[in-house]
Structure 1
């Protein structure tokens, strides 16, 4: 970017503000969210009960290693080191399109736009994929308890409507709903942990806490399956414009979420191994999968408590759906505000909710769900899947999309780590080398390694015995999104230089300033 363009960027941003954010449009709500609210929304995205019931058992089953609890701690350490530079950069850049803005300012505008489309694909994939598991679980629960047989997609469409309504309301309404649901999740998992230690058929064994169980041949697979449990932790920065004090609220919420998630998952995974028995947990996980937790609780505490856990499992999924919906809506808002997408996406309601982005995400969810409904009719019948036909929404919609989304988000974090180094290379702002170089470099390399491991083990993550078209098509969607975004940015540079100049800098009052005058590497 030339010095002339840099100097003219503020006026360009101001001149486009009217078209992107009309005067009657109040923008996002300000000074609304505190540390607890943002922390709870981050934790909601990771769905604690879902991770303990499904993620932990899957990790034990696939890795055939007792190192799962320590794996959660190692991932938490990697992400905490990543957060050092990530939150430091966030103190200088407040933008609802977090990854997009950080990469645009830290590396280049074209790569930033590419990252924005990867973020949209990844967050949408995570959110819509979870709908598949939600619809299937609720349909099965109603049939088991009341004999009421219903299509899995009916409940998904109803849930999409509820999530959409919350999405167009004040963000603190969503925060309060998610806070209650997350609190109940934690409570029921803690009860499960206590009962596990009380049962302990082999005693309170520390076998799963032995470092040799982690640092072995299964290390890469443990991290691949464990990292998805943390997806959403980076979302604090997305709420920066709505935080009560972005420079303090966002970093505190990010670190709090990483610490709580990491310790809670590690402790619960250890408790799981103690409750079933270290010598039996792998085989039991392979035989029962996510049902293992509910079978165990039925045996130890009765059917009623197990049913309560099942209901909270469903609310856990709902909380995650709402959290990812909010993230997508804010990305649409940020991109519409800056002219990367049509300005309509920047529309907000009188209470500061990004209603246009919320509606867009709802429409995407409906379209993708309908595509899977039709696909299930064509490819998910008994002839295609045999006895597993009824699992179509889980084996396809949930598995395909959530794994694709997690892969995209890990890639974005690795690139963002490089962006932190690039951003502070121009002006360290008095920060240490640890914050501006070492921490982002170490975490970036670690995340890049995890991303490569995900690509190598993608067939395993999809439950495939042999690679097929989806093995390559699903990751390809992420890479194609990045390429399309880069090409679109280059077109903008040629045809709309004023819009191009404001990419990643925001156009609301206070969202741009001295940072906009900095020289960004030539693009």
Structure 2
């Protein structure tokens, strides 16, 4: 479909598009994008928080194997996803992919689900960040600080980075992630060296995972990968997006899968399989820090605790960047208010960053007010804000990846001139869609367990609805736009390409 470009409005948008694509904005290479992805998964947070919780809640030893299986599933998903990224460069990755691969209404629905999911992940992490920092200050300095106070300070710092140069964020995250990896590697080596019950491969055996409860393990594990799919979000700021984004995606998935599998295996060996579940349930994140203090030295334990905080901070920055770019993309195409496409003089999505900051402040304030005097005590922000929001966000992102897999098939089917192989255009995306749909169903089936509930409650329905309902409303909104503004509707999901005739595009 041909898009008119002669009006003053279109001329202004074309100028914005040219600025967005200028070399000045294209600062990110493979290493930078990979670090942004890995930072979102927060290596030390996954080990100290996620892995210990998984062992404690599920009582299954096969957690290391689950990371390898999930890594294989996401690698298959990444085949079509990365191939499509070579042809679609858009800061609202899921939004653009679904729009061009399935339909524009589906794309708008996916965009709002993605926007909600990333916000839930980002804001939810603030809950454990506030608890961890306030506890650290209390233990080290004897000063009681309310959990929400460190969050407000952190929100301000993240906001400052969000409107600054994106490569500055990448450099900050790179330094923090490098230190995290170093600490976790030290922990892994020490664990295999101590091995109180000897070195065992039982955590990698299928019999340790493929038993009742596997759904809960996969549900916890998939959250550790969340953020790997965000590579395409940085396509408009990558130096060579057609090469940078696919390479960064594959690199990140491989590193995350292997690193977490080895580290969770080290935890099982270092603690001792017979003692693991009880120790993880009683100590939680302190399982890692106490082990380092006992076998490496207290300085190492203290450094690890500080890096646990910076690990959370790195994840917050990464998810903040993802949310800001979705706002920018939707504002640019007028699916959401146009002022959301405003950028700073550094080229960062300023308006989207500020809106995400406002959301974080409001949600934090709401939980702080609701939790005043809660019987949950200091753990309130962890057991509510962190647990509820991040699990709902992870569920939404898994659903979106399954839908994107279907979109990849549709995209290449509509564009035979691209000459993609059957493996890339059909087989891998189909396998990815089925596998991710299975993981999504397992998350839904185990959602009560993920929320720490012993029986279904209103939360079991409300939290999934927060992710799904915006998607349905987005579909209805797009259908309305098709009737009321045909030109705007035609541009949905096509970013800068929507201003010219799009290869093989057809009205949907």
Residue 412 of structure 2: aligned partner: 424
Does residue 483 of structure 2 align to residue 490 of structure 1? Answer: no
1:226-237 alignment to 2 at 5 Å?
Answer: 226-237=221-232
Distance 1:181 1:82 in 2: 28
Q: Deviations over 1:349-392 (max 9, x none)?
A: 22211111111111111111111111112xxx24xx2xx32211
Does residue 64 of structure 2 align to residue 100 of structure 1? Answer: no
Q: What residue ranges of structure 1 are gaps of 5+ in the alignment? A: 1-5
Q: State which drifts further: 39-48 or 420-429.
A: 420-429
Q: Deviations over 1:225-272 (max 9, x none)?
A: 100000000011000011111110000000000000000000000111
Residue 19 of structure 2: aligned partner: 26
Q: What is the deviation of 1:12?
A: 5.3
Q: Is the 8 A contact 1:12 1:501 kept in 2?
A: no
- SS of the residue 2:419 aligns to: coil
- SS of the residue 1:341 aligns to: coil
Q: Is the 8 A contact 2:216 2:449 kept in 1?
A: no
Q: 1:137 to 1:417 in 2, by over 3 A?
A: same
Distance 2:120 2:201 in 1: 37
- SS of the residue 1:280 aligns to: helix
Among 363, 386, 391, the alignment partner of 1:403 is 391
Q: What is the deviation of 1:503?
A: 0.2
Among 409, 419, 435, the alignment partner of 1:446 is 435
Q: What is the deviation of 1:20?
A: 4.8
Q: What is the deviation of 1:59?
A: 1.3
Q: Deviations over 1:284-309 (max 9, x none)?
A: 21222222111222222232221110
Distance 1:512 1:221 in 2: 45
Does residue 189 of structure 2 align to residue 205 of structure 1? Answer: no
- SS of the residue 1:279 aligns to: helix
Residue 182 of structure 2: aligned partner: 187
Q: Is the 8 A contact 1:48 1:185 kept in 2?
A: yes
Residue 503 of structure 1: aligned partner: 492
TM-score, normalization: structure 2? 0.96
Distance 1:137 1:344 in 2: 36
Residue 3 of structure 1: aligned partner: none
Q: 1:505 to 1:196 in 2, by over 3 A?
A: same
Residue 293 of structure 1: aligned partner: 288
- SS of the residue 2:218 aligns to: helix
Distance 2:209 2:17 in 1: 56
Q: What residue ranges of structure 2 are gaps of 5+ in the alignment? A: none
TM-score, normalization: structure 1? 0.94
Among 353, 364, 369, the alignment partner of 1:369 is 364
Residue 155 of structure 2: aligned partner: 160
Distance 1:393 1:315 in 2: 18
Distance 1:24 1:12 in 2: 13
Q: Is the 8 A contact 1:404 1:474 kept in 2?
A: yes
Residue 415 of structure 1: aligned partner: 403
Does residue 141 of structure 2 align to residue 141 of structure 1? Answer: no
Instruction: State the number of aligned residues.
Output: 505
Q: Is the 8 A contact 1:55 1:225 kept in 2?
A: yes
Q: State which drifts further: 259-268 or 364-373.
A: 364-373
Distance 1:493 1:15 in 2: 22
Q: 1:19 to 1:470 in 2, by over 3 A?
A: farther
Residue 272 of structure 2: aligned partner: 277
Q: 1:199 to 1:24 in 2, by over 3 A?
A: closer
Q: Is the 8 A contact 1:107 1:521 kept in 2?
A: no
Q: Is the 8 A contact 1:21 1:343 kept in 2?
A: no
Q: Is the 8 A contact 1:90 1:247 kept in 2?
A: yes
Residue 518 of structure 1: aligned partner: 504
Distance 1:67 1:417 in 2: 27
